[in-house]
């Protein structure tokens, strides 16, 4: 039985390789971003720290001097808000939603738009337990951190879509 299982696995693997399937490797960001300045985000905020770390992990230098930058990642809107989703018959809140909206664009050192304005929205819902306000507060704090980490990932996915620099063939 294990002999047939081994052959089946080997045959499946050969089919996958034959059709061009491969595991997704690390993604690369455009060389246009080699020296990036972050505008509109506090450098020591969770979003600022997360963006800096993730960009540096991709080999991008995040500069604190705009004049040194080859690209400017500009956060033009950054809002994290809590909304009431449902209430009990007594008027007490039962459920909240955290909504995170961020808008950004990328321009080069000449002021040319590399990535037009992108609007990103993320939302998470959570139940509010009146009997345990402290744990509900911790839950909200954890969700805020998760949303900000997810937003950093969303921004990086958009940056991965940047085309490589245009090369003149003169």
**DSSP H/E element including 96:** strand 93-108
Instruction: Tell me the pTM.
Output: 0.76
Element (H, E) at 93: strand 93-108
Could you read off the pLDDT of 54-103 as tens digits, one per residue?
A: 999 999 999 999 999 999 999 999 999 988 888 888 888 878 889 999 99
Structure tokens at 8: 């089946």
Residue 124 near residue 147, CB atoms below 8 Å: yes
Asked whether the beta carbons of 85 and 48 are under 8 A apart, the reply is: no
Residues 37-46 have pLDDT tens digits of 999 999 999 9
Residue range 122-166, pLDDT digits in tens = 999 888 776 666 676 788 889 999 999 999 999 999 999 887 776
DSSP three-state, residue 134: helix
Domains and CATH numbers, the chain: 29-160 (3.30.160.150)
User: Cβ(97)–Cβ(123) under 8 Å?
Assistant: yes
Coil, helix or strand at residue 81 = strand
Mean pLDDT of the chain: 85
């Amino acid at each position: 039985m294990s002999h047939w299982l081994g052959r089946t696995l080997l045959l499946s693997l050969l089919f996958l390789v034959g059709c061009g399937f491969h595991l997704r490797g690390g993604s690369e960001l455009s060389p246009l971003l080699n020296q990036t300045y972050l505008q509109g985000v506090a450098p020591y905020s969770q979003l600022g720290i997360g963006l800096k770390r993730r960009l540096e992990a991709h080999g991008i230098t995040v500069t604190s001097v705009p004049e040194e930058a080859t690209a400017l990642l500009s956060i033009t809107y950054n809002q994290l808000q809590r909304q009431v989703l449902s209430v009990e018959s007594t008027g007490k809140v039962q459920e909240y939603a955290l909504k995170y909206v961020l808008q950004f664009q990328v321009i080069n050192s000449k002021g040319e738009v590399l990535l037009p304005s992108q609007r990103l929205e993320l939302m998470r819902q959570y139940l509010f337990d009146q009997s345990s306000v402290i744990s509900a507060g911790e839950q909200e704090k954890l969700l805020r951190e998760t949303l900000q980490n997810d937003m950093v990932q969303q921004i990086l996915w958009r940056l991965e879509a940047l085309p490589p620099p245009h090369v003149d063939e003169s």
